[in-house]
Chain A
């Protein structure tokens, strides 16, 4: 089913699933945390505190937040290099993430991974992958482990409209359906694979249909409206959890920033970006709804904003003050030397 973009007045749309007050407020706060965190990361990159590649998630916040709201403890997630939001939403400490961005010893990977390579076994987050499409096979492997162990966890595999043209995606689709693995493939279609628009790179642009020849059900979802994201995610995750195998969600979303910090994004018009921001922003949609439903007042929302800013400032300060890893870390964590006898 194709759902068109919702606008700020989405709450009046009759077919939109409703969120409770708690859910709306939770979504607002989570998405705002990602937004402010990413803005701060962009700022710190500009100051030279963050090096290398840095891919920001601004604009796509509803996708990961809505999926997370429909998942349960124990479900794994794995994504590409645009991974900061995916970590924040599963509850990984923003301080550890930001300190990894600055290459500090207190970073999630002790400063040895960087923006694209962070992991948390505790939060079942498996990266953070720098190779486009690799996470699709790896995430299918996580689902394989779930089925092997007979637990009821589902692997949530995020990838973009660029990765969908990698061969291993289809190798994975095939085996996931062949073995009915508990995996949900979430295609974050932000319309540009770096600088190549979907139409210029894909012969078939309805990405939710990419699993059809394997018998994998898919649907296209308004990824800017968290209500639709969460509803579709609940359906997809239940499908996978109940043993029916993989499911594809094509999330129609948009990134406001360039592909990475050094991308001037000249391949799209300024109008396109500002129209998205003005009319479809995922956070503004929730905010408008909260105010309209009187779930909270402007002042109460300002308080949330203030709390979120404080978390981000704390993370930035922590990261800025995190020392570089000790030189002795150069040769650690390469292999585990104690062979079990």
Chain B
């Protein structure tokens, strides 16, 4: 007896699979597993590659930096965790040569440096860097192009760093973790770590930064950190991983990861909708067999077992096939993308498979559960009275279970309640809208469906009669279209905003230290050479003295400084101040009022206090808020300003941006130097030396290489996103096909009857096409509306992007919905009508 349900389930499963009866539900599970697996596997591999790429910016997978020498024991123990290590000691120091002197950023590196990325050397001054695998030999120094100019030295000359002499042997172009700061960057000098002691620049009182780099497997790195963590002093040590990268690239990668997550979540919802549709259909087709079995004496528990076993078999088969299809699909995409998108060479990750299996099982169980509960409750009396359906037909309950399951899946998968809730709530709004519009359709149907029976009337009459079924179908069509729209528009907006950040002609050179006197001649000189500068901003370095009444102590000893700054992190002892009445591009005031029209007459500040606008994040880090008074020491003067506005700044633009913007009146007494940026096309690069010749004291930064790096990563991520979009589109289209297929089944009986009664094929076909056109366009319109809501929430709450209306989709979505759904309906209808009436009737058995 106990083996009976399993045997019977297996038999039913075998026959139904053979006869294609399970194809819809099986297909939906395959689809869910395949899309989740291919998407997560692909994004895992892509993220692997991007993380590797990003790792180049910290020259390793992890970095430990400290203000005091790092315990050599820690480095030794890292090796026992199979981690590769390298070291760097850096400080700012004076360099002497040819009786000239300059402040330099001195970096002393060990032999294995860098663990990720490469050092680049320029064949001539300011030329494009070429990769090298070496580091300076003992007694050698590699120096920045700018330093050659500043000190007037050439290759082979001597340079004095601290107490040691070095020979200049190479032009240093860039190092992976060179960082990028226009203000604080002094020209860089690279020497061998073994030489640092001889320079004696790391003695007491000097500000030295010690770094140890680590690479290895993620688990080894995590294990090592677990052991190391308790020994770290958070005021001295800083543990950095790729994810902590806040550079434009870091943020682009983070945004891309969020997009992958979103796309995978949507794929899960699409698959779940497909399974829900298929399960409903599956349950309905089994009403009779269940009634028969009950009549023949089967207990409810037997029935339950038979069907749960069946679902188990279907889920298992779906998961196995789905996993294979997903893997192959992903591999095809990777091969198709070879050369365009770099993905990790590691072809297999377990996490995506586990997620896919989990998704497949949860979808199969939770989305089948409700239809199955209905199926189990079919009374045996149905064998005599065919009109009796399930007594368990609360649609509200069904939506609640399905909705809860979707939310649970999204939450478990994304570990992000916010993104899950946003998608879920907009889904709910859509469902509400759809129910309301279905009611509208029924009213409309009553009006339009009256009159002599033609194809149009038939279509409306069917919509009216099948209002409940149609509302379910409308909801599933609209959800699918909405999800596709969300992915499509998000992709467009993300890629567009990335490209907008760095349009062609983005400034690739920065000039600092331009004096007031040089300003007009520099503008003239550049304009004579056909180069436009992006405006000159005044800059002055101010030393922080007080925040309100709290005196900031930077001097005396290092230890004291550390304790004073404990609660106000993130800012050095000096800040770069600018002043303007115009709000800079990419800046937005989020609190207070911009000081553009402030004047002494209308001031409500205490005498001698001027307004300042601060950047949001520096305010958070330094715990400065509206109304706080900041005191700076500029030259030998004291300036006090009060925070009258807080701004957000788009740091992803390659333009000069400032933490502190003062009112010009505050700075009237001070001499300023200016900063500007300009774009020079690559082919004009050789002109640089000539261009800068009249302005020897002006410091130039070449950010071309960095911009190109960002651009290539953005292009790569955009291409990957494109393919993910295609994957989701395919998944969505397949779901639409499944839905139309399922709904055609429901129409089959009616078509057969109409056909038997002699209705013309052309009329039946036209009526079905009209019906699907109407459903498709309404679903498309509803989807466009719901799309706006979810996009607004996603873009403002999750992606931190500018949100805008997408009016064009209000037209595109209904049109596409009507055409696609209409075409799919027409195709299925064609198939049905090509059968002779006898076959059609026998299919209804």
Chains A and B form a bound pair: no
